[in-house]
A and B are shown apart, each in its own frame.
Chain A
Amino acid sequence: DIQMTQSPSSLSASVGDRVTITCRASQGISNFLTWFRLKPGKPPKTLIYATSTLQPGAPSHFSGSVSGTDFTLTINSLQPDDSATYYCQQYKSYPYTFGQGTKLEIK
């Protein structure tokens, strides 16, 4: 199975800050990676697919990138509504696996 190691597990930042969340794949997954977020009581929301493509309807201050097998979600100009838990998921090969999640708190 492909392991997705996500970091940090939690972070706290202020409105207007730029934050980054990283997922490291245990083997090559090409660009088959999605980022999404979970908020309590709401359905998950896909933010980025194919590593760096913004999902229609996702806020434009989210972006994705990759360097080797290190995938990064960048949140520019943090908004109060960005408080959530963020996950990556690889869909290169079964079983499709998730990172452990990053809980983002807005100070």
Chain B
Amino acid sequence: EVQLLDSGGGLVQPGGSLRLSCAASGFIFSNYAMSWVRQAPDMGLQYISDISGNGGKTYYADSVKGRFTISRDNSKNTLYLQMSSLRADDTAVYYCAKTRAAGGVDYWGQGTLVTVSS
């Protein structure tokens, strides 16, 4: 059974940093691209970043480019999102997600809440 366990969210001040983690199990982690999607309070969903199975290729939405870094440790079956220079509009629930081989998300983590506030 595929399981994705998001963690690392919390309250952080504007300008601060936070690292999210996503522990994966139930599939061969290194074979699949992974992504991060967020949902701000009372807002829609935003696809913010993804990374290929071997970590060699990444994508960032314009809103996080230069501030967020996606990475993975295939030896630990873990996905990361390092977030820096956080702003109030980064406040959201962050979901990690597994991508199907042919594209599109098939499994989701339960989400972790990031609140950026002074």
Classify the secondary structure of B's interface with A: strand
Instruction: Using C-beta atoms within 8 Å of the partner chain, give the interface range for chain A.
Output: 20 to 34
Within 8 A of B (CB), among A13-58: 32-34, 36, 38, 42-46, 49-50, 55
Residue in contact with A100 in the complex, picked from B44, B106, B108, CB distance below 8 Å: B44
CA–CA, A55 to B105, complex, Å?
Answer: 10
Per the 8 Å Cβ criterion, residues 80-107 of A in contact with B are: 87, 89, 91, 94-101
- Quick one: which of B44, B62, B109 has the most chain A CB within 10 A? B44
Question: How many residues of B are in contact with the other chain, CB < 8 A?
Answer: 22
User: Using a CB-CB cutoff of 8 Å, which residues 98-114 of chain B contact chain A?
Assistant: 100, 102-111
Q: Which of B39, B45, B62, B102 has the most CB of A within 10 A?
A: B45
Contacting residues, chain A, for B39 (C-beta < 8 A): 38
**Residues of chain A with a CB closer than 8 A to B61's CB:** 95
With A and B bound together, what is the CA distance between A97 and B45 in angstroms? 8
Q: Which residues of B contact A (CB under 8 A)?
A: 4, 39, 44-47, 59, 61-62, 95, 97, 100, 102-111
| Interface CB pairs A-B, < 8 A, 9 | A32-B104, A33-B104, A43-B4, A43-B108, A43-B110, A55-B106, A91-B103, A95-B47, A96-B47
A interface residues with partner B (beta carbon < 8 Å): 32-34, 36, 38, 42-46, 49-50, 55, 87, 89, 91, 94-101
